[in-house]
Amino acid sequence: MHLALFIIFGLLCLGGALNLLLQRHPINSALSLIVVMSSLAVLYLLLGAEFLALAQIIVYSGAIMVLFVFVIMLLNAGLEEKTHGSRAAYLAGIPGMLALLGVLGGTFFTLRSSFGSARLGAYLATTHDLAQVLFRNLLLPFEVTSILILVAILGAVVLARKEH
């Protein structure tokens, strides 16, 4: 069960990510990214992070990506053009990606026995557990992030406002 779900949603993740890379229209890229994020939510659920799985759906798929889609529609972004800059990026980007994947994947693969394995239902972090740590041990960082959010809201309003 766990294996089947992991394979299905892992493949959805990979497919979505590759589609993001290959699509030339930003709205198609955005939709593939939504697929990636929602599949990641299922993977979080498999790993016993129920609150995070739903937070992923609400924050990433439901809020951040809606903003992206909204901006794409607002600016009426069209197909991506190929320019002189992109050829150099292709030459450096694709080998770079393969090298990075080789290094990271190889490391994880050689160390795989020390990571152990995850079973369905063996570990579940409830919202209560999460809140205990977040609001007792990490209260200050939490408050600092809330100030960060406030600053970001103000910044976004100032930046996006039309000058008269």
Partner 1 sequence: MNQFLIFILLTLLKIAVVTVVFLTAVAYTVLLERKLVGRIQNRWGPSRVGPFGLMQPLADGLKLFLKEDLMPSAVERPLFILAPIIALGCALTSIAVMPYGRDIRWHGVDMFQIANINVGLLVILGVTSIGVYGIALSGWSSNNKYSLLGSLRSTAQMISYELALGLSVIGVVLRTGSLNLRDIVNLQATHGVLSWNAFGGVQIVAFFIYLTAAFAETNRTPFDLPEAESELTAGYHTEYSSMKFAMFFMAEYANMINVGAVATLLFLGGWSSPFGHLFPDFGGPIVHALLPVFWFVAKIFCFLFLYVWVRGTLPRFRYDQLMGFGWKFLLPLAIANVVVTGLVLAVHG
Partner 2 sequence: MSVPIAWYLILSAALFSIGVCGFLIKRNIISIFMSIELMLNAVNLAFVAFANRWHQVNGQIFVFFVMVVAAAEAAVGLAIIIAVFRSRNTLNVDQIDLMKL
Q: Which residues bind partner 1 (CB under 8 A)?
A: 27, 31, 34, 38, 50-51, 54-55, 57-58, 61-63, 66-67, 69-70, 73-74, 126-127
Measured from the CB atom, the residue of 90 and 121 that comes closer to partner 1 is 121
x-or-dash pattern for partner 2, window 123-162, by CB under 8 A?
x-x---xx-xxx---x--x---x--xx-xxx-xxx-xx-x
Phi first, then psi, for residue 49 (nearest 5°) are -110, 80
CB of 27 to partner 1, least distance (A): 7
Distances (CA, A) of 51 to 16, 99, 105: 23, 34, 28
Give the relative orientation of helices 26-46 and 65-75 as an angle to the nearest 10 degrees. 180
Measured from the CB atom, the residue of 15 and 62 that comes closer to partner 1 is 62
CB of 101 to partner 1, least distance (A): 30
Q: Check: CB of residue 20 under 8 Å from CB of residue 32.
A: yes
Phi first, then psi, for residue 135 (nearest 5°) are -95, -5
Q: Check: CB of residue 58 under 8 Å from CB of residue 34.
A: no
CB of 29 to partner 1, least distance (A): 13
Q: Which of residues 31-60 bind partner 2 (CB under 8 A)?
A: 33, 36-37, 40, 43-44, 46-49, 51-52, 55-56, 59-60
The residues with which 49 forms a beta bridge, in sequence order, are 125
